[in-house]
Structure 1
Amino acid sequence: MRIRHSFIALSLASAFAAAAPAAFAADGDLATGWGLFGSGRNVIQYDLGTAKTDIAADSVTGPDGSLYTAATVQDENGIQRIGVSKLNAAGVLDSTFSSDGRNISLETNVVATGIALSPDGSLLVSGYKTGNGTDNDMLVCRFFASNGTNRNFPAPIGNPCVKVNSFPGSQDFARDIVVQPDGKFIVAGTIAPGAVNERYAAFARFDANGQPDLGFGNLQGSNISLIRRTNIFTNHDIRAVALASNGKIVGVGSTSVVGATDIDGLVIRLNTDGTQDPLSPNQEFAFSVESSSARDTTVRDVILVDTAEAEDDAYVVGVVDVDGGRRGGMLARLRRGNLLNNDFGLNDEGFVINSLGNANLEFVKLMRRPGSDGFLVLGLRNDSDLGDFDVRAFSSDGRLSNAFGSSGVSTVDFGLPGAIDIPVAIGFGGGGILVSGYSYVSGSNYDVVAAKLESDRIFGNGLE
């Protein structure tokens, strides 16, 4: 199916064109010269059907400074497909990528959730195929990173998508994907063999050729590892997965404790063969940074850092219910045997929570800040506007860095006042910070959006 060309709404184009460059670009400023009209921003429209619903899921940066995005898009018949796109290093759609910078999956009724680059030059997109309401399947679809076309896995698969075969009638949702150096890939999410509120943390590994890796997992004869202590938790939800330098696997998300009314943050660690590697005397870390039956903690992303004092320290971000309704962004440092690292945070509590007064702030993605020991956090800001990107720079001890944006914070707005901009991913490429998500236009119309921010303009070695 060929994508029809479409044009950016005049109001959005005018807003981009009106952005005047600063006298001197500082860290966190929009990167002028990148994107639409050199505004530091761009919009990607598929608009295949009357609904024009294009919902970004994730993005990954290429070695040349390009940006690949994955989204769920609707075709002319309202059928959901995976959409992939490529912005080149200048921030414009790459015409060598499926002729106009965009392509869609052959598989229908699918929802995109994550994207990764494989050593063999493939784009791997995780997601799930929707069934009749009682059966969903995890899957991974493959595209050529070079030209954007659908790429078949070798025989006997012979098509671009592979599924995780779990249980008949189960509700399976892939949320993220990570690729090993040898090309094997791991998809992570949840599997509910019975009731949908009885979810297990699920990890499945495939060989680079798409065949199930039957040497992985704890279910005999499959490539699946299911984790949940059924007498302790009612369900697990995995939101993100990461690989440690030693090949071990860490998944994060949320869980509900039996008999409790709140939601706890969740961290699970697996050995290289998919068997569980307990992070503490318990099989899983379940924690809350705001202990109250009315306050919830959800982990959205994780990065792993090798340190001298602890094997594979984990830094996680997410959202916490700070007062029984208002949400704040959470950044925490965890390590084996000691859930919250007590030398991190403003009060050495192991975590920091940023909020916006009476408004909401949700952290969604985390990355190491290039050239330093600090971190960049992408969040959703919901204050006077309905939703904007919020990018924050933290030092290694959990404090905001004043040498970034405005007192450590940079805000990105893609639309007119009152519009909704939802962030999904952050990365580094072409010497700058690349962020992506989707924006509300009108009705059911959403577009994929991306922006580039300046990074370390003053000190090229990351010092501040």
Structure 2
Amino acid sequence: MRCTFDALRGDENMTAMLHSRDMLRKCLFASISVVALAAATPAAFAAGAGILDKTFGADGNTDGTPDGVVSTSLGSGDDVANAVARAPNGEIVIAGSHFAKGSSDIIVARYTHAGKLDKTFGADGNSDGTPDGVVDVSLGDGDDVATSVVVQPDSKVVVAGYHLDGKSKNIFVARFNENGSLDKGFGADGNADGAPDGVVNVSLGDGDDVARAVALQPDGKIVVAGDTVKGSSSNILVARFNKDGTLDKAFGADAGSDGTPDGFVSLDLGAGDDLANGLAIDGDGKIIVAGSHKDNGSNNIIVARFSKDGTLDKGFGADGNSDGTPDGVVSQSLGAGDDVARAVALDEKGRIVIAGTNTSTGGSSNILLARFLRDGKLDAAFGADGGSDGTPDGFVSLDLGKGDDAAASMGIQPDGKIVVAGYHTDGGSKNIVVARYLDNGNLDAAFGADGNSDGTPDGVFGISLGAGDDVANGLLIDGSKLIVVAGSTEDKDKSKNIVLLRLLAE
């Protein structure tokens, strides 16, 4: 008698050479025993959501990371991925920075679905000092950092960030062709703005101007959000560019009354710093930004919504300014500590979900989520626990231990589950964490279900790649089955390498 049943791999093919009813009974008993054994062993945890996808970066750990993780070093300096996006063909695009020769350069890299560098991207025989698959762009002697990335339907890559010009930072937006070369039809001004064609460089004055997020409108226009320094404090900044890289003068058209040229909107909420970290565009074309406002020494969460023309949408957060902000803006404080939104996403019902951190006075930070209804009110059905986690209904706070916990990025799966990525400080160093929440704000215990063997509760995936800091900065929901996280990992010499990891979502 021969019966084969590969239960550990989930292979349901059973081949049996059966010649009698007795042999059939024996084969069935043997098969059932194998299934029971598999369910009782640690290998049973090897299938399911919240584990590394071992087909990604499968190199037998030659890059010093386990299968499911890819690490890329571009030299002796720090290499960091700040954002990640999906190309139309399923490849993965990251943007960030590479430190070399005393300053940071913009880097953009493209990886195949299997986790290998796509050598057709930026194929220049390493003339820019990076391997094929990676593009390096320097805009001058100062630091150039890409903070965000989005891929157009035609596979062109748009990145935004800042360029340090002298003593202050300028906003830049760059567009790359599918092969990784700069798109010279974008921002084509003969370098009049101090940047090569393919890059738009914008300064609004003597202070720092920074783009922290970028998004595409359905009509191909590019929206960026960030902040600009006016006097001694920062204001929220939103700008819109036409497809050719010129400013869209119909956006924020106020003849400069807010201190910025047409094409920009500046929002000042008071004497403290106002920052926009996250950006989303809803189905009506309205622009939502999330970040923080400093009030009386501590940061409060803010969410603002702008109409298509750049004016505040007064139907959002309409409370007669009772929260200290104008209609069109929602401000939330959870106490005396700092509360900051780092990322924002919209679910299929148009509800606004933010992720970030909340900190008690003198304490450590926790991962924070909140959900707002379309009118700007907190959704009290989200995280409804009567305040047992120390936050009001509408918020969820996650404390993973004594150290700091922070969410840097987020996404929403097609089934409505919310995924956030960031880090947890454990024993002095940071570990990457990814958490998944159900629609009601509870942790999804089926995600990362390992009986807490990684030091995090079920619902959270945690990984340490070495003795140094491992940090997630960007997150991509890749269809219904995969989650991609991008960031950095420190090697034994304390220099940072780009890191990508892919998790199974189901």
TM-score by length of 1: 0.84
Residue type at the aligned position of 2:74: Y
Q: Which residue of 1 aligns with 2:311?
A: 275
Instruction: Summarize the Cα distance change of 1:150–1:21 in structure 2 as closer, same or farther, 3 Å threshold.
Output: farther
Q: Structure 1 CA distance, aligned partners of 2:239 and 2:361?
A: 37
1:333-381 per-position Cα deviation (integer Å, ceiling 9, x unaligned): 11255532111104161111000232221111111123x1211111211
The one of 111, 135, 139 aligned to 2:145: 111
Answer yes or no: is the 8 Å Cα contact 2:187–2:246 preserved in 1: no
Task: Kindly name which structure, 1 or 2, has the bigger radius of gyration based on alpha carbons.
Answer: 2
Counterpart in 2 of 1:3? none
Q: Counterpart of 1:223 in structure 2: which amino acid? A: G
CA distance, structure 1, for counterparts of residue 291 and residue 498 of structure 2: 25
C-alpha distance in 2 between matches for 1:29 and 1:385: 25
Aligned to 1:438: 488
Q: Identity of counterpart residues, as a percentage? A: 27
1:34 has 2:37 as partner: no
- Name the structure 2 match of 1:302: 344
How far off is 1:251 after superposition?
Answer: 0.6
- Relative distance call for 1:441 and 1:165 in structure 2 (3 A) is same
Tell me, yes or no, if structure 1 residue 410 matches structure 2 residue 461: yes
* Residues in 2 aligned to 1:218 and 1:301: alpha-carbon distance in whole angstroms: 27
Equivalent residue, structure 1, for 2:73: 45
In 2, distance between residues paired with 1:22 and 1:218?
Answer: 60
Instruction: List structure 1 segments (4+ residues) > 4 angstroms apart after TM superposition.
Output: 20-23
State the match for 1:353 in structure 2: 397
Q: Compared with structure 1, are the counterparts of its residues 36 and 107 closer, same or farther at alpha carbon in structure 2 (3 Å cutoff)?
A: farther
- What SS does structure 1 have at the residue aligned with 2:272? strand
Structure 2 residue matching 1:217: 3-state secondary structure: coil
Read off the aligned partner of 2:407 and give its amino acid letter.
Answer: F
Distance in 1, matches of 2:277 and 2:89, equals 28
Report the residue type matching 1:369 in the other structure: Q
State the SS of the aligned residue for 2:82.
Answer: strand
**Counterparts of 1:268 and 1:87, CA distance in 2:** 34
Mapped pair 1:148 → 2:148: no
* Aligned equivalents of 2:494, 2:163: Cα separation in 1: 21
The 1:121–1:369 alpha-carbon spacing in structure 2 relative to 1, beyond 3 Å, is: closer
Residue identity opposite 1:274 in structure 2 = G
**Structure 1 residue 228 corresponds to structure 2 residue 268:** yes
- Relative to 1, partners in 2 of residues 1:219 and 1:173: Cα closer, same or farther, differing over 3 Å? farther
Instruction: Report the Cα distance in structure 2 between the residues aligned to 1:115 and 1:313, rounded to whole angstroms.
Output: 23
Instruction: Give CA-to-partner distance per residue, 1:55-106, whole Å, 9 cap, x none.
Output: 221111123331111111123x223210111110111111111232111114
Q: Using CA pairs under 8 Å that are at least 6 residues apart, name the structure with larger relative contact order, 1 or 2.
A: 1
Q: Deviations over 1:97-117 (max 9, x none)?
A: 123211111423311111111
Q: Is the 8 A contact 2:187 2:198 kept in 1?
A: no
CA RMSD of aligned residues (A): 2.1
Distance 1:401 1:58, change over 3 A: same
Report how many residues are paired.
414
CA contact (8 A) 2:186 2:198 kept: no
1:426 aligns to what? 475
Determine the C-alpha separation between the residues in 1 that align with 2:45 and 2:383: 35
The residue number in structure 2 matching 1:81 is: 105
Are residues 1:264 and 2:292 paired? no
1:56 corresponds to which of 62, 77, 81: 81
Q: Matches of 1:398 and 1:44 in 2, distance apart?
A: 35
**2:169 partner letter:** N
Change in CA separation of 1:23 and 1:376 when aligned onto 2, cut-off 3 Å: closer
Residues 136/29 of structure 1: CA separation in 2 closer, same or farther (3 Å cut): same
How is 1:95-244 mapped onto 2 (pairs within 5 angstroms)?
A: 95-99=119-123, 100-108=132-140, 109=142, 110-133=144-167, 135-144=168-177, 146-154=178-186, 156-158=188-190, 159-167=197-205, 169-195=206-232, 198-220=233-255, 221-229=261-269, 232-244=270-282
Contact in 1 for aligned 2:347/2:412 (Cα 8 Å): no
Equivalent in the alignment of 1:387: 430
1:18-57 Cα deviation digits (max 9, x unpaired): xx9877422111001211416011012221xxx4111221
Give secondary structure in 1 for the equivalent of 2:377: strand
8 Å contact from structure 1 (residues 313, 333) kept in 2: yes
- Post-superposition CA distance 1:419-446 (Å, at most 9, x none): 2101111112374111110111245621
Supply the AA of the counterpart residue of 1:141.
A
CA distance in 2, matches of 1:171, 1:338: 30
2:410 pairs with 1:366 = yes
For the 8 Å contact 2:419–2:437, the answer to whether it is kept is yes
Match of 2:298, SS?
coil
- TM-aligned CA distance change 1:337 to 1:242, over 3 Å: closer
Q: Which amino acid aligns with 1:26?
A: G
Gaps of 5+ in 1: 1-19, 457-464
